[in-house]
Amino acid sequence: MGYFAILAILLASMGLSGMASFITASRTKAIGIRKANGATVSEIMLMLNFSFIRGIAIAFVIAVPVAWYAMYR
């Protein structure tokens, strides 16, 4: 059971890393335009993290009730 838990965490981490790199690659042009207009690094990071965290929050909202129901069943 422990090996499968480690494998699940590893796969989830790889998925999150892939999603982050995809979002960054797809918004390269927007990042360049914002940087040329004087945006700070923190503003750019906030722009990238908002869409990334939104997807994680939606997955968390769906997963918590399912896990809670499965745990008490």
Residue-wise DSSP of 4-72: HHHHHHHHHHHHHHHHHHHHHHHTHHHHHHHHHTT--HHHHHHHHHHHHHHHHHHHHHHHHHHHHHHHH
Report pLDDT for 44. Answer: 87
Do the beta carbons of residue 31 and residue 44 sit within 8 Å? yes
Quick: pLDDT tens for 32-61. Answer: 898 899 989 898 888 888 877 888 899 899
> pLDDT tens digits for 9-20?
999 899 988 988
Give residue 36's domain range.
2-72
Count: domains in the chain: 1
Would residue 38 be called left, alpha or beta, if left means φ above 0 and alpha means ψ between -120 and 50 degrees? left
